[in-house]
Amino acid sequence: MAITLPELPFGRDDLAPVISGNTIDFHYGKHHRAYVDNANKLIAGTELEHLSLEDIIKKTAGDAAKAGIFNNAAQVWNHTFYWHSLKPGGGGEPKGTIGEKIKATWGDYGKFVEEFRTAGVTQFGSGWAWLVLDGDSLKIVKTANADTPIAHGLKPLLTIDVWEHAYYLDYQNRRPDYLTAVIEKLLNWDFANENLQR
């Protein structure tokens, strides 16, 4: 099965002003699309060609000879997960099971925000900040470049892309401001609750 570029779960301009339509044009229309195209080229004619995206990622993780396939396939998966981690009018204190688990883990929502934001700010170079489930425990982790929690037995609940291409057109070098705005205004807690049920 060919790897496909999924539709965005919102319109081009729906995340503005936190994330502009211009950023969406490049980030989704160019970067995400390029990962899809590159992954398809690299798996063509190999034993990976007919596997699901998740299986391709798990089978190539940690294999230096297949780093190009892993990087492109994982970036396809990470970006699709990122778009679903955002929604217009999102952010703020979560309700439902995820809200209860965050209180139980961090004591209060403010402490969670501080740790999640710090993970994104301190990821050196390109990468991702994640809220994951490790067994029954909530954790915040960061990954470098294309690396993804699904290659490490963790269940992702939400992510924020901290590659420069995610924020440079709107925030230039101000990654902390991008993180604050995404956490306060875009995080899709419904998606986190859905992921807890999966």
Give me the residue whose beta carbon is nearest to Mn ion. Answer: 161
Q: How far is the CB of 70 from Mn ion (least distance, A)?
A: 16
What is the rounded CA–CA span in Å between residue 122 and residue 1?
Answer: 37
CB within 8 Å of 65: residues ≥ 6 apart: none
Residue 179, burial from CB neighbour count under 10 angstroms (0-12, 13-18, 19+): buried
Contacts 24+ apart (CB under 8 A), 42-48: 42/68, 42/69, 42/72, 43/3, 43/69, 43/73
Site string for Mn ion, 103-142 (x = CB under 5 A): ----------------------------------------
Q: How far is the CB of 177 from Mn ion (least distance, A)?
A: 17
Q: Cβ(163)–Cβ(123) under 8 Å?
A: no
Q: How far is the CB of 32 from Mn ion (least distance, A)?
A: 7
Q: How far is the CB of 142 from Mn ion (least distance, A)?
A: 14
* Reduced DSSP (H G I as helix, E B as strand, rest coil) percent helix, strand, coil of the chain, to 5: 55, 15, 35
Among 109-117, 134-142, 154-162, 169-177, the segment contacting Mn ion (CB under 5 A): 154-162
Q: How far is the CB of 29 from Mn ion (least distance, A)?
A: 12
Give 76 or 138: the residue with its C-beta nearer to Mn ion.
76
Backbone φ, ψ for residue 140 (5° rounding): -105, 125
- Total binding residues toward Mn ion, as defined by CB under 5 A: 3
Q: How far is the CB of 168 from Mn ion (least distance, A)?
A: 11
| Of 22, 15, 30, 49, nearest in space to 170 by CA | 22
Q: Cβ(141)–Cβ(155) under 8 Å?
A: no
Q: Which of residues 157-186 bind Mn ion (CB under 5 A)?
A: 161, 163, 166
Give 7 or 136: the residue with its C-beta nearer to Mn ion.
7
Give 15 or 138: the residue with its C-beta nearer to Mn ion.
15
Give 33 or 139: the residue with its C-beta nearer to Mn ion.
33
Give 160 or 166: the residue with its C-beta nearer to Mn ion.
166
Residue numbers at the binding site for Mn ion (CB under 5 A): 161, 163, 166
